Amino acid sequence: MNIQVLYGTETGNAEMLAEDIAAELEADHEVTATNLSDFDPGEFDRGTLYLLVCSTYGDGELPASAQPFAEKMEAEAPDLTGVHFGIFGMGDSEYEETFNGGPATLAELMIARGATQLGERIAHDASGAEMAEDLAFPWAEEIVGMAGDALGQAA
């Protein structure tokens, strides 16, 4: 399966996790990890599974590297019908009210353009005891399993 891990990062934590997910999946799949700041919404491809990894910054906002992407999504309003994605959020529950605001915004942007979200939006808590990858690897495997059916390819 073609998988592209797209990350929105501010401190680099989401970037590191995205690269780890890509490394975890690359034995069985064609995987790349790309910063959302280097990705154009026009590049979305229906034959590729997108795994979005996104943090939250400031007051529940998108992280810096996802902001140009969000602006382009608004401006270009691409039709993403038939595009499949899963989304993994990274947040910090110290900031209760806006915990995981960034990934929520990103998921809404995708769905508003017709893309299909696979699975639940997972939220890792930086102030919690669990390592992000311990949540993210099983999540990625699960989404890839679901995408196998959705994309009509062998997972």
Partner 1 sequence: MTGQIAIIGAGPSGCFLAQALLKARPELRVDLIDRLPVPYGLVRYGVAADHQGTKAVTRQFARLFERQGARFFGNVGVGSEVTLDDLRGAYDAVVLAAGLSADRALGIPGGDLPGVHGAGKLTRALYEHPEAEALPKLGTHPLIVGNGNVAIDLLRLLAKSPEELDGSDLGAGPTEWLAGSGIEEITITGRSPAAAAKFDTVMIKELAKLTGVTIRVIGAGESDDPEAQKKLAALTALEGGDGPRRITFRFGMTPLAVEGTSGVEAVRFATDTGDETLPCTSVLTAIGFDTPGDLPRDALLKDETEGKLAAGLYATGWFRRGPRGTIPDNRADAKALADRILNDLAPDPDKPGATILQALDTLTDYDGWCRIDRAETANPPPGRCRAKITTREDMLTLARQEDMP
Q: How many residues bind partner 1 (CB under 8 A)?
A: 20
Position 16 contacts partner 1 (CB under 8 A): yes
Which is closer to partner 1, CB of 97 or CB of 152? 97
Binding positions for partner 1, 82-101, rule CB under 8 A: 92-98
Position 35 contacts partner 1 (CB under 8 A): no
Position 11 contacts partner 1 (CB under 8 A): yes
> Which residues does 83 contact at the CB level (< 8 Å), separation at least 6?
44, 45, 46, 50, 110, 114, 115, 116
Residues in the chain: 155
CA–CA distance, 115 with 25 (Å, rounded to integer): 22
Cβ–Cβ under 8 Å, residues 50 and 144: no
CA–CA distance, 78 with 151 (Å, rounded to integer): 20
Q: Of 48, 118, 121, 112, nearest to 80 (Cα)?
A: 112
Residue 65 Cβ vs partner 1, minimum distance, rounded to whole Å: 10
Residue 80 Cβ vs partner 1, minimum distance, rounded to whole Å: 29
Which is closer to partner 1, CB of 14 or CB of 118? 14
Q: Which residues bind partner 1 (CB under 8 A)?
A: 10-13, 16, 57-60, 64, 92-98, 125-127
